[in-house]
Amino acid sequence: MGRRILVLLLVAGLLTGCWSRVEINDLGVVLGIGVDVGEEQAVRLTFYFALSGRPAGRGAQVGGEPVWVVSREADNLSDAIRQISLASARRISLHHLRVVLIGEEYARKGIADLLDFLGRNEQVRYTLRPLVVRGRAQEALETLPQLKGLQPTNIVGIMEAKGGVNWRLKEFLIARISDTHSGWMFAVEVIRRPAGIPDAPPTAVSLRGAGLFYGDQLIRFLDASEAQTLSWLMGNPRESIISTPCPEDPNKTLSAAVLKGGTQIRPVLRGRTFSFDVLASAQVNLVRLECPEAVATTGDRQLLEERLAADLKRRLERVIAVFQATQTDPPGFGKRLQLAYPDYFRSIRKRYPQLWPEAEVRIATEVTIRQSGLLGGPVNKRRGEVPQVQ
């Protein structure tokens, strides 16, 4: 009995988990990282620390939140982290890292080193969100958040609230290492806010388009409309908006929110030449209508549907032309060709990036107006209903 108690005590002593423990108050929890080209050295790294265990209102803060945003420059990422750790009284922890913001200049030089660092680090999860910044990443992290307390969670909140494609480090790495896909990531920008609002921060962070990568280098930004169209080709256009001029009056417009939609990309091989048929279809909710057409009637509705479909087709043509011009392929046209015609693709495997820009892409679009908000007609009087002023 005595021996058992002795063993139990021994085991209890070993199970305390005290070895190499770090108290939460000693952890510097990093929620966001910004990577820029340094002014004096190769890399400028910015860490956004959430200071756990410290009440708001004490210490270094941004907007009243207990955070610390710190930047250091070095020859490489690891040395930059070391530089930050030399200034940090807490042990750096990347377990809760939510966003990695990559400055435009750094992204244009190539992010291979950053991807390697993120992939190797056992604390970093593949579900974090990488974003490219139009400008400097440091500035984006230093900007005060709008509807959430901390800028990294604010950015994640924006990403989640917008709906559509959920693009994370995992997806970027898969595309980057693939033979047939190209990497891309959403872009954010620091925007100037209108002056005159008392106590309001002068700038804010906003999502704006996407960055297109060739290999590990940013080669082009897509504007907001192009990025929205990219989400069609990535298979999740939900909550995106299609706006187009009215059929009769081009000065007035209508907008429709996508309730359900998708894109089918079908490769076609004729002889030794390949092409693609793209069919984008959507069920939409008419959220805004300046046009005089009555959505309750089939004829008028069809007219509007044709307008919306034509607009969607134009957008798709424009984005695919960008892909072909830049020899990039985020949606995986090449992968579909490989899956449909494996033997043929094997024969052109190495030449595919050069052949892709020459490939014909035929686009067809179908839009069905499923609802028109809660209205069957406009709340304003139509042209014929307005009494003529004498």
Partner 1 sequence: MPTIRISGGLYACILAIFIYATQFVFLPATVIREAYQEAWLAAAISGLYGLGVALVSTWIALHARGSSVVQLARQSLGAPGAWLVGGLYGAFFTVIFGFGLRNVLDFTVMLLLPGTPGIPVVALAALLALYGSWQGLEPTARVAFTSHLFAATMILALPLFLGREYRVLQLDPFLWEGLEPLARGVVKALPWAGQSLIALTLVPHLNPKVPPYRWTAFGVAMGTVLLALPMGVATLVFGPILPSRFLFPSYELLSVIGVTEALERLQVVLVVIWMAVAFVKLSVGLYAAARTWREVFGVRSHRGPAVAVAAVGVGITQLYTGVLEQIESAGDPLVTAAELGTQGAVLALLALAVLLYRRRAGSGAGLHG
Q: What is the rounded CA–CA span in Å between residue 147 and residue 205?
A: 11
State the DSSP H helix or E strand holding residue 17, giving kind and residue range, or none if neither: none
Q: Which amino acid is present at 14? A: L
Nearer to partner 1 by C-beta: 178 or 255?
178
132 forms bridges with which residues in the sheet? Answer: 102, 187
CB atoms near residue 60 (< 10 Å): 12
371 forms bridges with which residues in the sheet? Answer: 285
* Contacts of residue 373, Cβ cutoff 8 Å, sequence gap at least 6: 285, 286, 287
Nearer to partner 1 by C-beta: 311 or 329?
329
Nearer to partner 1 by C-beta: 235 or 353?
235
Nearer to partner 1 by C-beta: 44 or 336?
336
Min dist CB 20 to partner 1, Å, is: 3
Min dist CB 168 to partner 1, Å, is: 9
Min dist CB 170 to partner 1, Å, is: 6
Tokens of 350: 């190495």
DSSP 8-state assignment for residue 385: G
Tokens of 130: 């990488």
Min dist CB 342 to partner 1, Å, is: 4
> What is the contact surface with partner 1 in residues (CB under 8 A)?
14, 19-20, 119, 122, 125-127, 170-171, 173-174, 177-178, 181, 332, 335-336, 338-339, 342
Min dist CB 19 to partner 1, Å, is: 5
Per-residue b or e along 132-147, where b marks 16 or more CB atoms closer than 10 Å to that residue's CB: bbbebbbbbbbbbbee
Ranges assigned E (strand) in the chain? 27-37, 43-50, 67-74, 91-93, 99-103, 129-134, 184-192, 203-214, 217-222, 241-245, 253-270, 273-289, 360-371
Nearer to partner 1 by C-beta: 19 or 386?
19
Ranges assigned E (strand) in 344-389? 360-371
Answer yes or no: are the C-beta atoms of 334 and 264 closer than 8 Å: no
Nearer to partner 1 by C-beta: 120 or 270?
120
Tokens of 22: 């770090």
* Contacts of residue 149, Cβ cutoff 8 Å, sequence gap at least 6: 63, 65
Min dist CB 34 to partner 1, Å, is: 24
Nearer to partner 1 by C-beta: 78 or 380?
78
Nearer to partner 1 by C-beta: 39 or 343?
343
Min dist CB 32 to partner 1, Å, is: 17
Min dist CB 147 to partner 1, Å, is: 16
DSSP-based helix, strand, coil % in the chain, nearest 5:
35, 30, 35
